[in-house]
Structure 1
């Protein structure tokens, strides 16, 4: 009888704890075609969905573009001009920089990362020792050095659907990009006044999460093309830990941000030692 009573007491203590744990760890309803969450400090994967599926990545490409620009060691204080060669003739996407605009290379890099300005990225790739062709070759060399085995790049903007990668490969890219103070600074600034072309232009960050103080965003890049869907890379703080989120192929203009919000909320609800969740 005493043993039975002991078992009943133990179960009475365990059941509420189990119910609480179950409530604390709901599976995030991630809409992205592929997703991954990694603890930057440990490299541990905390969430993965189709992480090895090769997909177009749109302007997430520009993180690699920025690395190649910075690795070239060419002065960011040199001016560069937007020419007809920098006009997008694949998607005919619009740009706020008219042909003939003269900007410092640092300004071009800033608005390419912060606002996904395609003509700025094209101009930076053309203003390279080996021209745009040499720049793209350097992109692929860098990808190989980072062991991004399922990635390939044909342009510096991501407008081409032939720029492909996986969520897993992109965690390698983002972790490498995070080591560059300039990339962290430019990608997370909220806005920048640009003097060039027809007059002053105010550029804003394409990621609204940088304006949420609680997120402490350390790096971000958004992307969209019809083929890639809506994409996001973001580094945010969770319980004092830098967490890297990669989201590819979300279906609507706000879904990638909502996926990130849901994943962060899920991480905050989990015990710190909980096992990785994989789909």
Structure 2
């Protein structure tokens, strides 16, 4: 039993077989793919989808999650991330003023796109452009942010690709900073790419973008949760309304699903897309739906499907809270090689949550290591727990078993040579 009593789940511990030497990992069976994890449990009318715990990365649902599809204006989250990075490193500031190029002005004043009109010769602050990008999904504003950070659209696109590589997203298809098809940005088009080329990521990759943004810049929520805001430009005011209709005050709002971000995306090829986030049972969840129906500008399908996905999670998972220093029965200690103490007590390193599927199966865990070399300090990470529900692994967005770090609750120094020789003679372990 977990030392702290949990209403839902008893966690039993399966100790690993003996290992040869310290620091040798036990063999871990390859995890089944998260691409369509629990996909048969709910009929989502989308091309692909995923839901996960933003902090731990635990996947709660996936449908065709590895299939790359057009992401449209969800692209802007990468643009916003790099803008926040530039502000953090003092390359620009919130008050930096930007003059749009002729190409940007042309895009910004195209009424066929979601936009805030920008004018040639006018100056706009990074704060204004950032708000317009996230709230109104303004394409011209996003392009201005790219211009301010990198000096050109092409240079920024290369920066976007590099950032995705750093996040483990290889060979991503990125052609525009705003998510429009390449041919729709006029002279700012990416040279050598087809005019119909669109940015493409998988639902799983898009969720990683959301994860990274929320982890490093959680303040983004202060803007993504805004339903309405005015964009002021030399006496002229443009009313901005968030395309995320699940926000409070908008048509798809529901108190049961207090969504506060992140970004929609729509093109003919992409259909209706939405990466959403909300706090539930004390944890931040991320959902992505791609390729939902989009009959016209009033079609709420992406939000209807998101609600179905969230309702599935609400009904089929229970959070098991593991506070820091929690000791788990039958895994309360581990061996120490050549230590003054032959064993040390261990517990959970950092407070976390494991989402337990309501599948009638017992949630179990095992330790990855059986022993550790002496010279351990209290609080040092010395092991990790991995989890299963019955025979099914609890998986993360990296397609690996969920791992929770274990810390030493007591330190121990290395035993002197005489003690070690005596143990060798007597066979003490």
What's the TM-score once normalised by structure 2's chain length?
0.55
Contact 1:31 1:250 in 2 (8 A): yes
Distance in structure 2 (CA, Å) of the matches to 1:215 and 1:123: 33
Deviation string, structure 1 residues 55-102 (Cα, Å, up to 9, x no partner): 11000000000011121231121122333221339x984433143343
Q: What stretches of structure 2 of length at least 5 have no aligned partner?
A: 1-39, 182-196, 319-355, 358-388, 396-429
Deviation string, structure 1 residues 87-131 (Cα, Å, up to 9, x no partner): 339x98443314334321111011101111001011111223442
Aligned to 1:36, which of 8, 31, 50?
50
Equivalent residue, structure 2, for 1:6: none
1:54 lines up with 2:100 in the alignment: no
Q: SS of the residue aligned with 1:125?
A: helix
Structure 1 138/202 Cα, relative in aligned 2: closer, same or farther at 3 Å? same
Of residues 49-58 and 205-214 in structure 1, the stretch that sits farther from structure 2 once superposed is 205-214
Deviation at 1:150, TM superposition (A): 5.3
Deviation at 1:261, TM superposition (A): 0.6
Distance in structure 2 (CA, Å) of the matches to 1:155 and 1:103: 21
Q: What stretches of structure 1 of length at least 5 have no aligned partner?
A: 1-25
Equivalent residue, structure 1, for 2:241: 204
Distance in structure 2 (CA, Å) of the matches to 1:71 and 1:41: 20
Equivalent residue, structure 2, for 1:88: 107
Name segments (4+ residues, structure 1) moved above 4 Å: none
Contact 1:111 1:203 in 2 (8 A): yes
1:243 lines up with 2:285 in the alignment: yes
Deviation at 1:28, TM superposition (A): 2.6
Distance in structure 2 (CA, Å) of the matches to 1:92 and 1:195: 18
Q: SS of the residue aligned with 1:159?
A: coil
Equivalent residue, structure 2, for 1:224: 266
Equivalent residue, structure 2, for 1:19: none
What's the TM-score once normalised by structure 1's chain length?
0.83
How many residue pairs get matched?
Answer: 251
Distance in structure 2 (CA, Å) of the matches to 1:131 and 1:44: 37
Contact 2:116 2:141 in 1 (8 A): no
Equivalent residue, structure 2, for 1:103: 124
Distance in structure 2 (CA, Å) of the matches to 1:216 and 1:265: 12
Contact 2:134 2:224 in 1 (8 A): yes
Q: SS of the residue aligned with 2:107?
A: coil
Q: SS of the residue aligned with 1:29?
A: coil
Deviation at 1:183, TM superposition (A): 2.1
Distance in structure 1 (CA, Å) of the matches to 2:280 and 2:232: 37
Contact 1:171 1:244 in 2 (8 A): yes
Distance in structure 2 (CA, Å) of the matches to 1:258 and 1:236: 15
Computed over aligned residues only, the root mean square deviation of the Cα atoms, in angstroms, reads 2.2
